[in-house]
C-alpha cells in the first residue's frame, strides 16, 4: 500500500510525495521547490529515488536541481521537453509503462496546457497525477495547444475508471466551483461538491484528490455534452470541442 504526503507550497501548489514501502522507493511529483520536500523526507525517514515532472513550468520543476544534488534521484519527464526540464534523466512518452519497485506506472501524453504535458497513471493504486491538465472542477489554461487538443487529452483521462483518484497540482477548486455554478447551476452533484469545497477550505483542508467519477459528474470541462451547459451557452448544436472551447474562453475572462 502506497503512502502519500501532500506538501502545500508557493501560493496554491501541491507537491505529492509517494512512498512504496515494499521496495523503499520514494517519488516526488512536480517539486516546485526542493526545501519543503527535503524537510518532508527528513521527517518521514524516506529517501528520494525519483522525481516525476508533468510539465516544464517553474512551479513544477523548481526543485529538480536541488533535489538531484541532495539525493541523487532520477528525474522522469517528457521526451519532448528535454531542454526544458532541468536534470532530466529518463525521457518517457505516450504508452510507456515501467515499474518502480512493484508499482506499475503508465505514461499518458496530455498536451494542451503545454506541448509536452504528461499524466502519470498508477492503475494498481487507482491514482493519477495530472499536473495542470485537469483540476478539480476545472482544467488548465491553453498555453501551447488548441481547445481541440486539450479536449482530446481530457477525454483520455475521462475514460479511466471512476474510482481513480485525481491528484492535480493546484488548490484552485473553490474558484473553479464558482465558475462551474455559473454554467451549470442546476447540477445537484455540483451544488453538493461546491458546498463541501467551501467547508473544506474554511477549515484549511485540501480538496485534492477528488475521484474521476466526481469530476465526470461535476466538472464542466468534462461535460461539454451536458444539455444543461449547452442550453446555458446557447450551443445546443455545436460539437463537444466547440462547447469545450467556449467554456475555456468564458473561464479565461471570469
Interacting residues with Fe ion (CB under 5 A): 59, 132
Spell out the residues 6+ positions from residue 139 whose beta carbon is closer than 8 angstroms to its own: 133, 150, 154, 219, 221, 248
**Selected catalytic residue, list 16, 19, 25, 113:** 113
Pick the binder of Zn ion from 57, 68, 193, 251 (CB under 5 A). Answer: 57
C-beta of 59: minimal distance to Fe ion in Å? 4
CA distances (Å), origin 6, targets 17, 167, 222: 6, 10, 25
25 binds, among Zn ion, Fe ion, none (CB under 5 to 8 A by kind): none
170 tagged catalytic: yes
50 tagged catalytic: no
Phi, psi values for residue 246, rounded to 5°: -70, -40
**CA separation for the pair 163, 180 (Å, rounded):** 22
**Selected catalytic residue, list 19, 25, 56, 132:** 132
170 binds Zn ion (CB under 5 A): no
Cβ-contact 40, 67 below 8 angstroms: no
* Cis before 120 (ω within 30): no
N-terminal to C-terminal alpha carbon distance within the chain: 41
55 tagged catalytic: yes
214 binds, among Fe ion, Zn ion, none (CB under 5 to 8 A by kind): none
Q: Which is nearer to Fe ion, 132 or 215 (CB)?
A: 132
25 tagged catalytic: no
Q: Which stretch binds Zn ion (CB under 5 A): 7-15, 87-95, 100-108, 125-133?
A: 125-133
Q: Which of 103, 68, 112, 115 is nearest to 87 (CA)?
A: 68
Tell me the number of residues near Zn ion by CB under 5 A. Answer: 2
59 tagged catalytic: yes
Cβ-contact 84, 99 below 8 angstroms: no
C-beta of 222: minimal distance to Fe ion in Å? 19
Q: Which is nearer to Fe ion, 85 or 183 (CB)?
A: 85
25 binds Zn ion (CB under 5 A): no
Pick the binder of Zn ion from 132, 171, 184, 215 (CB under 5 A). Answer: 132
Q: What is the dihedral sign for C-alpha 133, 102, 43, 204?
A: positive
Q: Which is nearer to Zn ion, 12 or 239 (CB)?
A: 12
Please list the active-site residues: 55, 57, 59-60, 113, 132, 170
State the residues that interact with Zn ion by CB under 5 A: 57, 132
Amino acid at each position: 500500500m502506497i503512502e502519500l504526503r501532500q506538501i502545500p507550497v508557493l501560493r496554491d501548489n501541491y507537491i505529492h510525495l509517494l512512498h512504496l514501502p515494499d521496495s523503499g522507493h520514494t517519488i516526488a511529483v512536480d517539486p516546485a521547490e526542493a526545501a519543503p520536500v527535503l524537510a518532508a523526507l527528513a521527517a518521514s525517514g524516506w529517501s528520494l529515488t525519483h522525481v516525476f515532472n508533468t510539465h516544464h513550468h517553474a512551479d513544477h520543476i523548481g526543485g529538480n536541481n536541488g533535489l538531484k544534488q541532495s539525493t541523487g534521484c532520477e528525474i522522469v519527464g517528457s521526451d519532448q521537453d528535454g531542454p526544458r526540464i532541468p536534470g532530466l534523466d529518463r525521457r518517457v512518452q505516450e504508452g510507456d509503462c515501467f515499474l518502480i519497485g512493484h508499482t506499475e506506472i503508465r505514461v499518458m501524453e496530455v498536451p494542451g496546457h503545454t506541448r509536452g504535458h504528461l499524466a502519470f497513471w498508477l492503475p494498481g493504486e487507482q491514482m493519477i497525477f495530472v499536473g495542470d491538465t485537469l483540476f478539480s472542477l476545472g482544467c488548465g489554461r491553453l498555453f501551447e495547444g488548441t481547445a481541440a487538443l486539450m479536449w482530446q487529452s481530457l477525454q483520455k483521462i475521462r475514460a479511466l475508471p471512476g474510482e481513480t483518484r485525481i491528484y492535480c497540482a493546484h488548490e484552485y477548486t473553490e474558484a473553479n466551483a464558482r465558475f462551474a455554478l455559473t454554467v451549470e447551476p442546476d447540477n445537484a452533484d455540483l451544488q453538493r461538491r461546491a458546498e463541501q469545497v467551501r467547508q473544506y477550505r474554511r477549515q484549511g483542508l485540501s480538496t485534492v484528490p477528488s475521484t474521476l467519477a466526481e469530476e465526470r459528474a461535476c466538472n464542466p470541462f468534462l461535460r461539454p455534452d451536458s444539455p444543461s451547459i449547452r442550453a446555458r451557452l446557447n450551443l445546443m448544436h455545436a460539437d463537444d470541442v466547440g462547447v469545450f472551447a467556449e467554456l475555456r474562453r468564458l473561464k479565461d475572462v471570469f
